[in-house]
Amino acid sequence: MDSVVLASIVLVSLLLLLLASGVWVALSLLIVGMVLMGLFTTAPMGSLMASTLWDASWGWALTSLPLFIWMGEILFRSNLSADMFQGIAPWVSRLPGRLLHVNILGCGVMAAVAGSSAVTCATIARMSVPELSKRNYPVNMTLGTLAGSGTLGLLIPPSIVMIVYGVTAEQSIGHLFIAGILPGLLLIALYMGYTAIWSLINAREMPPPEPKVGFFEKIYRSRRLIPVALLIAAVIGSIYGGIATPTEAATVGVIGALVLAAVSGGLTWTIFLEGLMSAVRVSCMICFIIGCAACLTIAVAFVDIPRTLAAWVDSLHLSSYALLAVLAVFLLILGCFLEGISIIVLTSSVMLPMVQSAGIDLLWFGIFIVIMIEAAQITPPVGFNLFVLQSITGKDIVTITKAAMPYFFLLIILTVLITIFPQIVLVLPQMMMQN
């Protein structure tokens, strides 16, 4: 037991030191794993690390990762963002809150394309901030809807964070994608509901309504978004229907994105190469982190930290709700300093045994941890969406944080709802498995 406690202290201290000194996350994980193996075990470190890196680098589930990233890069670099405001605005202009809902729905569409919170937030912000500012919409609501809705990039499939969790926790990526649909739609409804209520209470701060647009004019303005929506529906629908695996669906998504970009005139050789190289860089970074995290995981397992920690938590006789509350606080604290992928690969070797021993479904827990990471995206000091908005708008971080806080609490409400009613997460995957 003493050696396990010492190993845990070395793990946490060395990892914090390396991360604080600016060492890459992947290298930090690898170094800590090697130190633990070298100091606290007699296992052959070299051969184990080499074989673990190799095994972690060729998992079939990972093949969907670069494809989904490439699909998002293609659509991101095409004319999608330019068409989105014009296409969505007429449909929400009569709702309480009016064009503020463009931020929420636009982030929902971009989330299904990009799979990344930062990309989602940045794309919609570049498009909507000038338009809403020109129309004199309240700055705090413009910033708040963008900061909160940008987090949808993690929850709405295809989500890069979900793929990483699926590989790490050995859960079906297809089932995780499907499990995120209802919570994602519920979160959009919570965001739109709060925005509508705020606008009704603060009606004097809202600008006058936009001119009324007829139904056929709405359809015409949305004509370029309809093919993208159909592509997203085809990708997710093929997974849900059991027609295609996530990798096969991602392949269809890439081909469809290339066709749509070409038809819209947004595909050039330069854009093709830029999108491809960006997807390669992001995919290599994530795979490097996953491989090094696997090395840390096996080192932690050899030292026996997960079993000892799980036994300690079990001895506390915490209810599953109490355990989830402790883990939620832990994840939010980590999220103040790390981004989502790093949080998952850092904590999985310790948290997953604890969660399993408490009888918590790992598929459900995947959505739980994604929502916690979403909340961390809009909490200082390292809330990535806050930094994105600061760079785009020039507003100070305190102003942006205050604007984002109501949407942070809406994420907490969503977490409570899926905890009390876990079928919100599990019903669609269960239906998929029955079919």
Residue 40 confidence class, pLDDT cut points 50, 70, 90 = confident
Long-range Cβ contact pairs of 198-201 (< 8 A, separation 24 or more) = 198/97, 198/141, 198/406, 199/96, 199/97, 199/98, 199/100, 199/141, 200/96
100-130 pLDDT tens trace:
888 888 888 777 766 667 667 777 777 778 8
Cα torsion angle, 367, 369, 373, 374, sign? positive
Closest Cα to residue 148, out of 339, 394, 408, 336?
A: 408
Closest Cα to residue 127, out of 85, 77, 74?
A: 85
CA separation for the pair 416, 37 (Å, rounded): 39
Element (H, E) at 41: none
138-147, 280-289, 378-387: which has the minimum mean pLDDT? 378-387
Instruction: Name the domain count of the chain.
Output: 1
CA separation for the pair 95, 418 (Å, rounded): 27
Q: Which amino acid is at 139?
A: V
CA separation for the pair 121, 33 (Å, rounded): 34
Q: Which domain holds residue 16?
A: 2-434
Which one is predicted more confidently, 89 or 102? 102
Cβ–Cβ < 8 Å for 142, 132: yes
- Region of 209 (left: φ > 0; alpha: ψ -120 to 50; beta: rest) is beta
CA separation for the pair 151, 182 (Å, rounded): 15
28-32, 114-118, 213-217, 401-405: which has the minimum mean pLDDT? 114-118
Determine what percent of the chain is predicted with pLDDT higher than 90.
Answer: 13
CA dihedral 337, 338, 340, 345 (to 10 degrees): -130
CB atoms within 10 A of CB 387: 17
Mean per-residue pLDDT for 224-241?
78
CA 418 to chain centre: 17
Radius of gyration of the chain (CA): 22
Cβ–Cβ < 8 Å for 67, 109: no
Closest Cα to residue 142, out of 153, 126, 158?
A: 126
CA separation for the pair 11, 308 (Å, rounded): 15
Whether residue 344 has pLDDT greater than 80: yes
CA dihedral 170, 367, 434, 158 (to 10 degrees): -80
Cβ–Cβ < 8 Å for 142, 129: yes
Mean per-residue pLDDT for 354-363?
86
CA separation for the pair 295, 255 (Å, rounded): 35
307-336 pLDDT tens trace:
676 677 667 777 888 889 988 888 887 776
Give residues with Cβ within 8 angstroms of 216, minimum separation 6.
Answer: none
Whether residue 251 has pLDDT greater than 60: yes
Residue 188 confidence class, pLDDT cut points 50, 70, 90 = very high
Cβ–Cβ < 8 Å for 155, 370: yes
CA separation for the pair 336, 328 (Å, rounded): 13
Give residues with Cβ within 8 angstroms of 276, minimum separation 6.
Answer: 70, 73
Structure token pair of residue 342: 């790093």
